[in-house]
């Protein structure tokens, strides 16, 4: 089995986000960047499947500026075999990435695609489902457990009523949730080895994909400040405030 994993370079989750002065987006200049946390889980799952002997090869793919190649090296330091980089100078959006991934999948012929369920910079959670629809492959989103056996992927996912298990015929697209695993830390020797590994480069022209954004951000603003709570002296006052101020109908 061959597994393809997607990774994305995003602002580190420990960094406090600052907005640009013109409200056009989030400030990324001189900000610590790292691999999207959900993608780390996808990488870890692919490496574990390789270690179990389920997979014979793992491939990590990313899109973005030249610095995004460091994210690929992090994936290889964690245990990914190969890396493929597509240079993109503009903002990457779900539709363009899905188009490009389909072209790469047609070329690489993986048996399984594992992706983070969403990227923490835009939280769109769309790339996996769009890709599965374009490929015509079954998909298992928000996976909290994954088993591969008898040519099928058994995906357990959390739903409102509890847990749901899907049996997907391979090839398939899986998107990972937080509870799937705990990503490992890359060791220093593996980090040094990853720095020397080659990264294959494919341009958008070679893929025949246009990454021009199809969505326009009109304005980015922080959430309104939260009002402080109050204490009421008795239940009657609480009911009065809920009924008359909060306009809540109490039965």
Q: Which CATH number is 200's domain given? A: 3.40.50.620
Q: Name every residue whose Cβ is closer than 8 Å to that of residue 89 and which is 6 or more positions away in sequence.
A: 65
Q: Is position 184 within any domain?
A: yes
In a domain, 157, yes or no: yes
pLDDT of residue 251 exceeding 80: no
Q: What pLDDT score does 126 carry?
A: 92
Residue 182 confidence (pLDDT): 95
In a domain, 237, yes or no: no
User: Which of the residue ranges 92-96, 138-142, 220-224 would you say has the lowest mean pLDDT?
Assistant: 220-224
What is the model's pLDDT at position 170?
Answer: 95
Give me the pLDDT at residue 219, please.
87
**What's the rounded Cα separation, in Å, for the pair 245 and 36?**
42
Q: Looking at the domain assignment, is residue 243 inside a domain? A: no
pLDDT at position 176: 95
Domain of residue 106: give its range: 2-224
Number of domains in the chain: 1
Report the percent of the chain where pLDDT is more than 70.
Answer: 100
pLDDT attached to residue 41: 97
The pLDDT, as a whole number, for residue 183 is: 96
What predicted TM-score, i.e. pTM, was given to this entire model? 0.85
Structure tokens at 7: 């990774």
Is residue 232 situated within a structural domain?
Answer: no
Averaged over 5-28, what is the pLDDT?
88
Q: Does any domain span residue 233?
A: no
Evaluate whether residue 32 is within a structural domain. Answer: yes
Whether 220 is in a domain gets the answer yes
pLDDT > 90? residue 1: yes
Q: What share of the chain has pLDDT > 90, as a percent?
A: 71
What is the model's pLDDT at position 152? 94
Instruction: Name the pLDDT band for 228 (thresholds 50, 70, 90).
Output: confident
pLDDT of residue 230 exceeding 90: no
pLDDT at 220 (0 to 100): 87
pLDDT at position 83, please?
97
């Amino acid at each position: 089995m061959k597994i393809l994993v997607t990774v994305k370079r995003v602002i580190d989750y420990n960094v406090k986000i600052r907005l640009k002065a013109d409200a056009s987006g989030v400030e990324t200049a001189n900000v610590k960047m790292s691999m999207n946390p959900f993608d780390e889980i996808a990488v870890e799952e692919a490496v574990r499947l390789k270690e179990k002997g389920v997979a014979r090869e793992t491939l990590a793919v990313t899109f973005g500026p030249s610095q995004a190649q460091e994210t690929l090296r992090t994936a290889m330091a964690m245990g990914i075999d190969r890396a493929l980089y597509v240079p993109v100078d503009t903002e990457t959006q779900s539709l363009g990435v899905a188009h490009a991934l389909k072209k790469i999948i047609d070329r690489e012929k993986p048996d399984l695609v594992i992706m983070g369920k969403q990227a923490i910079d835009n939280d769109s959670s769309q790339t996996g489902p769009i890709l599965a629809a374009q490929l015509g492959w079954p998909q298992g989103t928000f996976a909290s457990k994954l088993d591969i056996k008898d040519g099928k992927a058994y995906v357990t996912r959390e739903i409102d009523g509890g847990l749901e298990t899907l049996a997907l015929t391979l090839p398939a697209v899986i998107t990972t949730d937080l509870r799937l695993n705990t990503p490992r830390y890359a060791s220093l020797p593996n980090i040094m080895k990853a720095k020397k590994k080659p990264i294959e480069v494919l341009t958008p022209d070679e893929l025949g994909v246009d990454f021009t954004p199809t969505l326009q951000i009109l304005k980015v603003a922080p959430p309104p400040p939260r009002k402080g709570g109050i204490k009421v002296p008795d239940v009657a006052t609480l009911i009065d405030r809920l009924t008359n101020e909060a306009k809540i109908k109490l039965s």
